[in-house]
């Protein structure tokens, strides 16, 4: 029998039975996750500036069969030790006064990348913002690189790791994007695949501005429970051996001993309540452990219920390959194939979001 730390009990053992109590419990959970897993995340900068670098000549920026403009942006702000800026791209559907936005933390710098079907996203009426994650800080242990070098480190096991930094940059970008008159700030999704799915979950958990949160194949330290891993699933020991810099130093304590963690990944997902949570897995991606990703969705449902929302309506599961359950506030699908953020995933995510967009 696997024991999972309880969401709806305060650290002192007393019950959490209403949204007011939950907002206090939320703070406890956020504290545990930062101290033990991802590291403490600095406060967002008060001012974030953005510049549109291209777009003067309409012929330079028209794309997607002429149905969109592709804008190059630069996002800038003052970090603790000095100024920081990074580039990003924004596909904007033409002729739409206000478009819902999907903000994607992406793996590659390529514009028109294999991880996003830009034209299809535009045809669904969404704007698409893309941040190449290594423009924020490199995916390695160099804590002087980019954003990483601009915050003091305490060296006490609680300094933020790279997942938290990538997520933080996405939130900074949001601070600028939400000011653009053609962006519908009430209908923004934050999305990421794999390690960037982990980063997106964390960022959204700390920021109420994302109505939708998309975790694609985020697996270990993302949507998947760490306890009770299924055969072939990545463990805390695996991930902290290869990618220790994604986390705070304290996380290493739990390598090989997940039962000692004062949290599990349902803690992370719970912080997204009452927002819409979209979790996607691939049947051939055992490393991400699809069954554990779906089980976490079930486990957090009582938190959504506190808000009078359905949470996950997936029954006892597991979801079949190429099946989905998307009638609730939490949507889950399992596509056939390998670890990837593909067109089929995008179609499912957009279909769900379209049902829940606030339209004027």
**Binding footprint of ligand GTR on the chain (CB under 6 A):** 194-195, 219-220, 234, 239
Choice between 62 and 339, CB closer to ligand GTR: 339
Least distance CB 106 / ligand GTR (angstroms): 12
Q: Is the dihedral of CA 18, 21, 27, 28 positive or negative?
A: negative
Give 79 or 220: the residue with its C-beta nearer to ligand GTR. Answer: 220
Residue with tokens 């939490």: 330
Q: Which is nearer to ligand GTR, 165 or 239 (CB)?
A: 239
Nearer to ligand GTR, 194 or 270 (CB): 194
**CB of 234: closest distance to ligand GTR in angstroms?**
5
Q: CB of 55: closest distance to ligand GTR in angstroms?
A: 32
User: From the CB of 281, what's the least distance to ligand GTR, in Å?
Assistant: 13
Cβ closest to ligand GTR, residue 240 vs residue 329: 240
Which of 133/176 has CB closer to ligand GTR? 133
CB of 162 to ligand GTR, least distance (A): 11
Sign for the pseudo-dihedral over CA of 193, 8, 38, 213? positive
Shortest spacing between CB 107 and ligand GTR, in angstroms = 7
């Amino acid at each position: 029998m696997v024991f999972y730390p309880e969401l709806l009990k305060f650290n002192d053992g007393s019950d959490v039975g209403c949204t007011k109590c939950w907002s206090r419990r939320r703070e406890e959970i956020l504290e545990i996750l930062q101290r033990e897993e991802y590291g403490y995340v600095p406060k967002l900068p008060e001012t974030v500036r953005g510049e549109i670098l291209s777009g003067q000549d309409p012929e330079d920026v028209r794309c997607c069969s002429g149905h969109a403009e592709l804008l190059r942006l630069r996002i800038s702000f003052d970090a603790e030790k000095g100024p920081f800026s990074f580039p990003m791209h924004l596909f904007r559907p033409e002729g739409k006064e206000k478009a819902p936005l999907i903000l994607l933390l992406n793996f590659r710098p390529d514009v028109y990348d294999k991880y996003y079907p830009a034209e299809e996203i535009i045809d669904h009426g969404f704007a698409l913002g893309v941040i190449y994650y290594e423009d924020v800080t490199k995916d390695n242990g160099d804590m002087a690189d980019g954003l990483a070098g601009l915050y003091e480190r305490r060296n006490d096991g609680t300094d933020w790791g790279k997942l938290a930094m990538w997520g933080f940059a996405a939130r900074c970008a949001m601070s600028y994007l939400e000011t653009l008159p053609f962006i519908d700030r009430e209908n923004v999704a934050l999305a990421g695949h794999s390690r960037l799915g982990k980063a997106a979950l964390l960022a959204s958990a700390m920021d109420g501005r994302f109505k939708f949160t998309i975790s694609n194949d985020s697996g270990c330290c993302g949507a998947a429970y760490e306890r009770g891993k299924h055969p072939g699933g990545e463990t805390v020991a695996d991930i902290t051996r290869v990618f220790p810099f994604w986390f705070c130093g304290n996380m290493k304590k739990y390598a090989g001993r997940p039962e000692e963690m004062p949290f599990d990944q349902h803690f992370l997902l719970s912080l997204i309540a009452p927002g819409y949570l979209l979790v996607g897995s691939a049947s051939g991606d055992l490393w991400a452990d699809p069954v554990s990703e779906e089980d976490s969705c079930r486990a957090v449902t009582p938190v959504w219920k506190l808000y009078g929302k359905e949470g996950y309506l997936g029954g006892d599961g597991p979801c079949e390959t190429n099946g989905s359950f998307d009638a609730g506030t939490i949507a889950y699908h399992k596509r056939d194939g390998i670890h990837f953020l593909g067109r089929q995933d995008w179609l499912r995510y957009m279909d769900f979001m379209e049902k829940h967009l606030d339209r004027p």
